[in-house]
Amino acid sequence: MAKIRKILVANRGEIAVRVMRTCKELGIATVAVYSEADRSALHVRTADQAFLVGPPPSRESYLVQERILEAAKKAGADAIHPGYGFLSENASFVRACEKAGITFIGPPASAMDAMGEKTRARQNMIKAGVPVVPGTAEPIATVEEARAYAEKIGVPVMLKAAGGGGGKGMRKVERLDDFESAWRAAKSEAMNAFGNDAVYIEKYLEKPHHVEIQVFADQYGNTIHLNERECSAQRRHQKVVEETPSPILTPEMRAKMGEVAVKAAKAVGYVGAGTVEFLVDVHRNFYFLEMNTRLQVEHPVTEWVTGLDLVAWQIKVAEGEKLPLTEAPTPNGHSIEVRIYAEDPARNFMPSPGRISYLRVPGGPYLRDDSGVFPGYTVPNFYDPMISKLSVWAPTRREAIERAKRALSEYVVKGITTNVRYLKGIVSHPEFVAGDYDTSFLTREHETLQGKEDPQLTEAALLASVVYAYQRDQKRAKTLPQTSSTGGKGGISAWRQSSRRR
């Protein structure tokens, strides 16, 4: 297959910038697409060419396949990298690229078809002998049928959208009395997010860990895994902090999960970068959850401990090269990534779009900030509010935690509200430091992680400041000349008048 000369990145923000940086290192020209809200965005400035693809809403710009392909043809791009989100897991877009003679940097449409719809993925994994979380193998048509199934396996259960992930269309049901309202909410959210309201049921595992395995495959049937990532620090089923190696996995468990992940990828003829996600219960049994047929947000931590550039691998595999490795590399050191969002944790994590008036990014050794923003940039309110990913590496987990804490203490963003303080609370929390935290960790410790002020401590601090000010003024008064009781030049009266003027 011929070498790729020019890549259109069908995405925005930090992931578009990250892909373009690797392209430039490989000598490949880059093309950006942007909505009207992203005219001055960093990914537009980074690319060699840029094309407007529509109004701010993604459904009218970044999700319009025809406009993306038209931009690729105008630019003379011979390949498209989808990043993650948007069209990255859209099988019809892959077929449209093939029809247009453009290389799609990702898995074939058939693999997306097999894994993109969650219930179909479960069926395929059951056939392949991969352990799955107990639940329905197909979407359930009616609320009555769904409730009866939930009653049969017992609550708590999870209602989950069959047509997508990312925490959309998911509801935990702890009481059967709440089932119908949760059913309606899950179907409505699934329809809005994916255009598909199909919902299935899984048994809810108590205190599970969310552990995923990075897999990679070439066009010649070679498939390997690149170890795991621990993703249990999540809010509303959205990952917030990721790390590798997982603090709960033994080398034996890593090898076993990796073997299953490779088996899952081979079962659907996978090519390129993908992630097989698992839930691990309190007894350390693991179950297939889903497969993300794309590059993951948290791929930098894998790059830190393997020394590999996964985007470069994606491009080379798309060009027809074989994988350079035949087995999983041993993890070197420890890496942690935190996702920095333009949101207000004190207001139920409400997005906080607006203009960044000041930005100071942390520095120092073994630190990486994948960002799509800059001072003066206005964060739009049309897209996911993640503005950057801060990741660190260190020889040990304890050192990586300390480096992450130090880096977060240096991160300053003004003009908008961010979750930087909240993230520092997470990596400083004893449960996170101990390493055995589960997917309910952030919900359970919500109040603590907010770092809310104690009213009694606030009052004590106020009283202390008043006492300090009084004592300071008394000390000043004693050091001034006492010429008369009425106060002449330099007397108490003059000092008081001077204090008033100050």
Where do the DSSP E strands lie in 186-284? 199-203, 209-217, 223-235, 238-244, 272-280
Show Cβ contacts of residue 135 under 8 Å, excluding neighbours closer than 6 positions. 122, 153, 157, 158, 200, 201, 202, 203
11 near 83, Cβ under 8 Å? yes
Catalytic-labelled residue, pool 18, 229, 294, 339: 294
Where do the DSSP E strands lie in 262-347? 272-280, 286-292, 334-341, 343-344
284: alpha, beta or left, given left = phi > 0 and alpha = psi -120 to 50?
left
212: alpha, beta or left, given left = phi > 0 and alpha = psi -120 to 50?
beta
CA distance 397 to 303: 16
- Copy the structure tokens of residue 295: 């590059």
CA distance 416 to 378: 9
**What residues pair up with 387 in beta bridges, in sequence order?**
none
Give catalytic status of residue 294 as yes or no: yes
CA distance 197 to 163: 8
At position 29, the amino acid (one-letter code) is A
Question: What are the CA-CA distances from residue 269 to residues 50, 398, 493 (Å)?
Answer: 34, 39, 90
CA distance 105 to 82: 7
CA contacts within 13 A on the Cβ side of 128: 23
Closest residue by Cα to residue 83 from 363, 419, 386, 390: 386
CA distance 182 to 104: 38
Helical residues (DSSP H) of 26-177, grouped into ranges: 42-46, 65-75, 91-99, 109-116, 118-127, 143-153
- Copy the structure tokens of residue 387: 């503005």
Residues recognised as catalytic: 294
